[in-house]
Structure formats: structure tokens, C-alpha cells
Structure 1
């Protein structure tokens, strides 16, 4: 079901709507720095949502790996793609919340206390010169890969279907072009409209939500994907997609509750005047 329309499937449309809502929330909070900090701070709404999106996506990719093995019990590129991506996304989820360091009140080891720019138990904030590994290296790689996968390759595939076939041979997929354009535009708008030192967190949640919904749409429902999806076009598939849309909204609500509990609220409360400038 090759299509470039973002609204081609309710799962994709719901993900886009949630991302637009988060940007609107950030813009609406611009006049209230404490509210904006609650949205973007460590263990805030956006960060917990990133963890939930990545954790769910990792689990779904693992499910796809098992499903692929049951269909074809041999090691091939599709299986390796699912296993590798599941591990990579799972790592991203754990890195996002510093491997539950703050949740479990774990004191960082001496190595991380000395070499991590935020004193956290994670790899992406390790000091690299005057910057961190995340800012000096990872963000550049993410930008190049993201633009290639979301814009360049889908544009080429519109006139050269062989591009899509080539990508899918490696077990990968191409997201709908319109959904990708909206994702890139939202990232750009977050930098233009939101004045906050942690506004980059918005781009990260936009990406996490975008990939969660486009992966589900492609591999589970066949949206913009040439191979056989997990669910055929049937009433059951439509019902499951509706249930998944409800899960996406639940992720938003859960991220909000986690931040209000042991997350952002506690952090701001323990730092009087935090974020006030």
C-alpha cells in the first residue's frame, strides 16, 4: 500500500496529532517558564514520553523478529534488521532515563561522575572535549540519517520505485513522505517558536513518536510497504489500529503522570527558582 499521505492510516494521523499538540503546548507555555521547564526538564513530560515510545517500539520490533523467525526460520537481512533495531531502540530508551538512575535513586559511579557532563549514568552525555558525545557526534549522525530516510529516499522513490524495493531488501521501510515533512517542519518550528535551553527535547519526542507510528503502520498494517504486513486488511486490522491509537494517547497521559509524580515536579521542587531567569 504505497502512499505518501500522512493521513493514509489512523495510527500515523494520531502520531502527527500528538506531536502537533506537544508543540502547541510548548508554545502556550512560553509565557510560563516553570510550566515550560516541567514539560522539558529531566524526567519531565517529554522525556518520559520519549522513553515510553522507545520502549514500546523496541518491544514491537522484537515481536516482529519473532514473527519473522516463525514465518521463515533462518537468519536473513529482515531478521537481522528487526533484532538490531530492537536492541538499538531499547538502548535509546534506557539511555533516555539514565538506566533508571534517578527513579531508583542510584548514585553514579566515579567514572560517570567525572566524565558525564550531567553526572548521569549514561553514554550519550559523556564529555567529548568541550561538548558531549550526544551534541558533538550523535546529533549530526541522527540529522544525516533522518533527512536521508525521511526526505531524500522517499522523494527518490516517488519516481524510482526500485529505491523502495532496494531499501526493503535490507529489512527496512520508507515512511510516508507527507508524515516525514510534517515531522521535519515541527522540529524546525520548535527551534523557531520556543525559547528554552532544552527545546531540543521537542525534536527528540517528535522523532520518537514519528518512528513509532510509521514503523507500526508499515510492518503491521502495510502502509507504504511492499512486503506482507503482520495484519492483513481486515476488520480485525482496523480494530487493532484503533486500539493502538488509544495506546498512543495513553502514552501521552502516562508521560504526564510520571512527570508529575517522581519526575519533574520533584526535581523542580528541590531546586527553588529552577529555570527562573
Structure 2
């Protein structure tokens, strides 16, 4: 169980570096609408990195689900972890509209009439005067994110039974060394970036943060009381490899944005959520 010096863990550090670099790019380009849109537009750098991070996190959770099932059989932990894996996979597919733009598939009549962007996805369906994402999902994400990343970890420092209770359900609490930089970056992005899609930065920060902390908790035991999949020297080596993989995914998000229609989106003026 790697509970010592979380702030020095390579996966935690790498996640913070990737997110800080994305915010730095946004700050450098904030007075350059073309470059800022290149970062935030549909099929841009941020969106593709989100997809890759969510997809990998779904895979990690799926791996842990299968491992728990093999060890302990079917139970509450397996049900919760399997549900989380499916939910994160759904988020990944929703982020790129189920590959619709990549495969050049026309939306059905239902989505053309009811989706705010005419895309084949659920989170942009009309909900009153707003989209489902803005009216409902965003509020749930904010409440759940603050509770999971700040309130419960702070309470667990004085009441360890809270962490034990959370882990009983197959969940984990992120270390504050990861949560605090993540939350600060979200706040800074809202304060200093002016763009219709600036919320995409916060979503990126969350995707990278959870990719790192899911791996940290379940695979190498960062701030986690249950047995991890890897321990000792092997855990450290696996962590360094995973940190390199995170950097590789960020680079791939950049390259995918260049070849997946980001330029066309900017030229067409599409900046909706």
C-alpha cells in the first residue's frame, strides 16, 4: 500500500503536469481565438484527450472488476466496479458522439430534432431551455466531484472509518495531493479563460485526474487500504510505465485532433457544447 508521499508518485505528478500544460496552452492562446478554438473545438486536442483518458479508465475499471470477480465471486464490489466501467465507457463514446463524425454517419430524425447540436449523443439532448448536460449532468458532476475529491478525503483524515466504508462498496477516495491541484486548475480555467467551450478544460482535467487516481488506487495502492494488484518494486516500475502511457495518450489526442476534423470545425464556426 503506497500511502507515503503521494505528491511524489509518478502517476499523480504526471496527471498534474498534463492538466497544467493544457491550462497553460489555453492561457497562452486566450488572446488568439483561432489557436484557442483549436484547443477547445469539437474534435480538438482537449476533446480527443478526454476520450482517450475516459476509454483507458473504463478499461482499467473493467480489469479490476474481472480481477475482483475471480478473487471473490460476484458481489456488491463487482457490481459497483462493473457499473462504473460501463458508465465511464459511455462518457468516452458520448464525448466523440459515438464516432459519428469520424465515420461520417448522418444523425437520425430523432437526434436532428431533439439534440442541441444535431448529433447522435445523449448529453446534448434538449432539456427545457438547456441541454441535458447543462441542466442536469453538470450539476451532478460538480456535487459528486467536490464530495469525492474534497469533502470525503478531508473527513477521512480524522475519521478513517469513512475511507473504510467507501472502499467496502468497491470505491476509493483520491489523495488530496491529486485532488487539490485538479480542483485549483478547474477554478483557474473558469476565472481566466473566456470561450464558449471553456468548460471542456474542466472535463479534461477530470478525465486525466480520474485516469491517474483509478490506476493509483486499484493497481498500486495509492491512498487505498485494500490489497493492490501490484506491490513493491514492480508497482513503482509499472507506475512509471503508466505515467509514460499518459503522456503518450496526450500526444495522441493532439495528433488525432489534427486529422479528425478540428480544422473543419473551426472553419465552420462550430463552438457549441
TM-score range, shorter chain: over 0.9
Partner of 1:248: 246
Partner of 2:230: 231
Partner of 2:110: 111
Provide the alpha-carbon RMSD of the alignment: 1.4
**Matched positions, count:** 271
Q: Which whole-Å deviations, capped at 9, do the CAs of 1:29-81 have from their partners, x for residues lacking one?
A: 11211000010000000000010000011111111111112222x21122112
Q: Which whole-Å deviations, capped at 9, do the CAs of 1:108-164 have from their partners, x for residues lacking one?
A: 000000000011100000001110000000000001100000010000000000000
- Which SS does the other structure have where 1:252 is aligned? helix
- CA apart distance, 1:266: 2.9
Q: How does 1:7-18 map to 2 (within 5 A)?
A: 7-18=7-18
Partner of 2:29: 29
Whether 1:144 aligns to 2:136 is no
Unaligned runs of 5+ in 1: none
Partner of 1:182: 181
Partner of 1:59: 59
Partner of 2:168: 169
Give yes or no for contact 1:4–1:178 (8 Å, CA) kept in 2. no
- CA apart distance, 1:238: 1.8
Unaligned runs of 5+ in 2: none
Q: TM-score, normalised by structure 2?
A: 0.96
- Which SS does the other structure have where 1:30 is aligned? coil
Give yes or no for contact 2:42–2:270 (8 Å, CA) kept in 1. no
- CA apart distance, 1:240: 1.2
Whether 1:127 aligns to 2:126 is yes
